[in-house]
Amino acid sequence: MSTVITAALCTVCVGIFVGIFLGAAGIIFKVKTDEREEEVLAALPGNNCGGCGYPGCSGLASAIVKGKAPVNGCPVGGKETGDRIAKIMGTESVESVRQVAYVACMGDCSKASRNYEYSGPVDCRMMDFAPAGGPKACREGCLGGGTCVKVCPFDAIHIVNGIAVVDKEMCKACGKCVQACPRKLISLIPYDAGYVVACSSHERGPAVMKACQAGCIGCGLCARNCPNGAVTVTDNLALIDQEKCVSCGACAEKCPKKVIEKR
């Protein structure tokens, strides 16, 4: 009996010692955090989308307080959130340009040629590994598998007639779709961008016309008729410099394939 009592007392003493030791260690080695970090975290929208480049909202809050990220580093919260965080940090609000995702392709079911009927998993990453790079003849166009739709946390992308289309009002520019697209057709552009080239093919004109009715053939008419030098043709594909573009529409008017659209 005495052996049992002794063992029980030893267990209790050890438990008390461990408890005191851990409590003291917690106090001694406690990592002090800036109180502003909790305030900044509370001001963030809490989507944890990673669009800021940090692992969730807590990661961004810590980076802002440490001066490693700007107060307007959250693409989801926008200017309003940036202003609130600037007030918490005691700094000037930073003007930011709202961005949205854009899918550079017009090759829908009525315009894009097809090599065969696809019956595998409906996912762009899988379709891209299918024979000939998927059922569509264009190797650089939207596959329409909806991978971007699945990763969008804001329901801003939908497949319409075989291609992904972004709702610019719903888009928060988190960038998840940009990372998910295996063809790299999606990019972030200014919300108020005037005209954009709705094609990503770098093939020569004849090959483009064979694969799609709505592909850029690199003719250069858009570039030659732009009064501000905002349009260039590189590697058979027209590109528009949004900083130079004044939305005059001359490029869209002259494009013979009508692949330059107004946003």
Domain assignment of residue 249, given as a range: 193-263
Looking at residue 105, its pLDDT comes to 97
* 156 and 200 housed in the same domain: no
The reply to whether 113 and 172 lie within a common domain is yes
What pLDDT does residue 31 have?
A: 52
Looking at residue 263, what is its pLDDT?
84
> 46, 64, 89 — which closes off a domain?
89
Residue 245: its pLDDT value, please? 95
CATH classification at residue 252: 3.30.70.20
Please identify, among 191, 210, 243, the residue that sits at the C-terminal boundary of a domain: 191
For 23-81, the pLDDT digits (tens) are: 655 555 555 567 888 888 888 988 888 888 888 898 888 888 888 888 888 888 888 88
85 and 105 part of one domain: no
Give dist(CA 215, CA 199) in Å, integer.
Answer: 6
Q: Which of 191, 216, 232 is the last residue before a domain boundary?
A: 191
d(CA 1, CA 62): 57
φ/ψ of 59, rounded to 5, equals -65, -40
With respect to residue 20, please indicate whether it lies within any of the assigned structural domains.
no
Asked if residue 175 and residue 113 are part of one domain, the reply reads yes
12 is a domain residue: no
The pLDDT score that the predictor gives to residue 148 is: 97
The whole-number average pLDDT for the span 215-233 is: 96
- Give pLDDT tens digits for 154-173: 999 999 999 999 999 999 99
Q: Kindly state whether residues 214 and 186 are assigned to the same domain.
A: no
pLDDT at site 51: 81
- In the predicted model, is pLDDT for residue 142 greater than 70? yes
- pLDDT of 18 reads 63
Q: What is the pLDDT of residue 186?
A: 97
Residues 220 and 173 in one domain: no
- The CATH number for 82's domain is 1.10.15.40
Greatest alpha-carbon span in the chain = 102
Does residue 60 belong to any structural domain of this protein? yes
| pTM, entire model | 0.78
Structural domain contains residue 152? yes
The helix or strand, by DSSP H or E, that contains position 64, with its residue range, turns out to be: helix 56-65
Asked whether residue 145 falls in the same domain as residue 157, the answer is yes
Q: How far apart are the first and last CA of the chain?
A: 86
If asked whether residues 222 and 180 sit together in one domain, one would say: no
pLDDT of residue 24: 59
How much is the pLDDT for 47?
83
Average pLDDT over all residues of the chain:
88
210 occurs within a structural domain: yes
Residue 9 in this model has a pLDDT that exceeds 90:
no
Between residues 95 and 98, which one has the greater pLDDT? 98
Domains held by the chain: number:
3
Read off φ and ψ for residue 41, nearest 5 degrees. Answer: -60, -40
- 107 and 70 in one domain? no
- Report pLDDT for 14: 64
Cα separation, 91 vs 261, whole angstroms:
40
Same domain? For 129 and 175 the reply is yes
For range 189-203, the mean pLDDT: 94
Q: Is residue 77 part of a domain?
A: yes
Mean pLDDT of 106-134: 92
* Percent of the chain scoring above 70 in pLDDT: 88
3 band by pLDDT with thresholds 50, 70 and 90: low
